Amino acid sequence: MALDNWLFRALRKWTKRRHPNKGPRWRWKAYWSLGDRGWFVVRVKTKRGQRLHRLIRTTSVSIVRHIKVLGEANPFDPKYDG
């Protein structure tokens, strides 16, 4: 959550620096209103038209736990195949 807040503030400062003559409402519509639940989106022009690149929230990434590898484990021993 803290990382998302920090990233939001950094992106808001970046948009203000990138578009100094535009107002906050314009910057919001240009970068945040296109995303899911108001998150950051950048439009990129390509030969085929426009593409949207969405930035996901760090809280939406689930934590995947792993099993610790034993010190005596051998990748060639069939006993340790998972």
Please tell me the predicted confidence (pLDDT) of residue 35: 65
Q: How many CA atoms lie within 13 A of 40 on its CB side?
A: 15
d(CA 41, CA 34): 6
User: In this predicted model, what pLDDT tens digit does every residue of 2-56 receive, in sequence order?
Assistant: 998 999 999 999 999 999 999 999 998 888 887 666 688 888 899 999 888 888 8
Model pTM above 0.75: no
Please tell me the predicted confidence (pLDDT) of residue 22: 96
Beta strands in 5-48 (DSSP E): 41-46
